[in-house]
Amino acid sequence: MGFIRRRFTKEQRQRLRGIIADAFTRADLNQLVEDAFDEKLENIASPGNMLEVVRELILWSSKRGRENELLCALRAARPSRADVQAIAGELLPEDYDCLKSRDSSDQAITELPLGVLAHYKPWTGMSGIESATWLVLVLSLFALGLASRSEILRQQNKEPEKSLSEIDRVRGRLEVRLDARERPLFKFHGGGLPVADGRPGMVAHDPEIERLSKDLSTLLDIFDRAIGSAGLSERDQLRLDLAETALNWKNRAGTALSWGNQYSISDLLKDRCLMPAARDIDPGISLSSLLAPGNDCGRFDPLRAASIEGYVVAVRDGDLVGLVRHFHHPRPLPVETIIEISLTKNAQPNKRVRAILTPRSRALSSIRGDVWESASLKKSLVGHRVRLVGWVVFDPVASSESENTNPGNTQNSAATAWRICPVSQIRIGP
């Protein structure tokens, strides 16, 4: 018979959380797909709610950046091409011939397209552990799409002890463990900017941070390859989830970005496609507050958006933006558009704030009928008073060329390293 979705009781959920956390803490991931794990679940989970067990497991591992390890633990149970066809209910494209084999490479899992699993249906006639194995394999490719951004933000805004979210509770315990370390994870020099090997803007060397950063990179790579042909929103949802999780790992000095590699987290935030809603806009962020002098590394919350008004001084092409820098693409990619805005029409570079249009935000604007190409925007915006809406993000790469973080430098190209990026709305006039 098929699965019947049931809800865990509070006690069952607590015990499940303990089992999952124990397995990942000891890195004994094979027990997640072996009889030992199944035996532990017997007292708390019937076959009817195994789907929920697996969903909780996937969500937890993905939010911790451990999805790759979970996938590796499933190598022995990799399905054949025929098996996947049976699950998907449709034929696979010939491009995915790698699924015919049961070899130990990651290719057969990481190149599985999201689309072929869109019509997934529950199984029948399997034991609990077989069902769990199949579900892990299938759901690991799109389980993060099950949680909406609003739900994630709602859970993150709660106190950990009051939250009903498994992810938040486990993460809270790990944060306490890291906070109890004898030495801080980061060192700060030069006005609060983290440094490593003399390079401004980088975190100090720490093996644990290095490992976590690698996990994050690997997971993004796997996800990008797995759903490369799918829509933008699913891929962006994972990136946003991971960025928000990463930003929760604040260092004890309270500086803005403190988990893993600042550059990679900054890129995650720059490449968002989920546009801010009215509730995301911080009324305390204005053009004046962005231009206010003083070290502003941790001045704003990079999970909030802003609506600013001022004069456009310049519009020009920029560089490749966000994660597209880090992956190999067969063809040239479009560049970002930089809009420089200030309180006056002729402000010097060190009195301007930069707003960024990414290739992703430009593509989304074209769906609405807006033309956001650099050349057309230069003609229509320069010299005019405009209102821009978008997320705020701190760009550590630009901190050495910004007046607030490197005052007095004659090469400063902006007042602040904080950006409006990506821009989601442009309106000419007050």
Q: Are residues 289 and 343 in the same domain?
A: yes
Asked, for residue 171, whether it belongs to a domain, the answer is no
Q: What is the pTM of this model?
A: 0.44
Asked, for residue 192, whether it belongs to a domain, the answer is no
Q: Are residues 254 and 361 in the same domain?
A: no
CA–CA gap between residue 427 and residue 64 (Å, rounded) = 39
Q: Measure CA of the first residue to CA of the last residue in the chain; give whole Å.
A: 63
Report pLDDT digits (tens) over 143-168.
Answer: 444 444 444 444 444 433 332 343 34
Which of 63, 57, 52 is CA-nearest to residue 32? 57
Asked, for residue 16, whether it belongs to a domain, the answer is yes
Contact 192, 297 (CB under 8 A): yes
Q: Are residues 219 and 271 in the same domain?
A: no
Mean pLDDT of the chain: 58
Q: Are residues 287 and 372 in the same domain?
A: yes
Q: Are residues 316 and 392 in the same domain?
A: yes
Q: Are residues 407 and 298 in the same domain?
A: yes
Asked, for residue 129, whether it belongs to a domain, the answer is no
Evaluate if residue 121 carries a pLDDT over 90: no
The owner of tokens 């992956």 is: 327
Q: Are residues 243 and 362 in the same domain?
A: no
Residue 19 banded pLDDT, cuts 50, 70, 90: low
Q: Are residues 147 and 273 in the same domain?
A: no
Asked, for residue 74, whether it belongs to a domain, the answer is yes
Q: Which residue has the higher pLDDT, 221 or 396?
A: 396
Q: Which residue has the higher pLDDT, 332 or 251?
A: 332
Q: Buried b / exposed e across 229-249, counting CB within 10 Å, b at 16+?
A: ebeeebbbbbbbbbbbbbbeb
Asked, for residue 25, whether it belongs to a domain, the answer is yes
**Tell me, what's the pLDDT at 103?**
36
Alpha carbons within 13 A on the beta-carbon side of 40: 15
Q: Are residues 381 and 251 in the same domain?
A: no
Which residue spans within 135-281 are E strands per DSSP?
188-189, 193-196, 199-200
What mean pLDDT comes out for the span 25-37? 47
Residue 35: domain span: 10-91
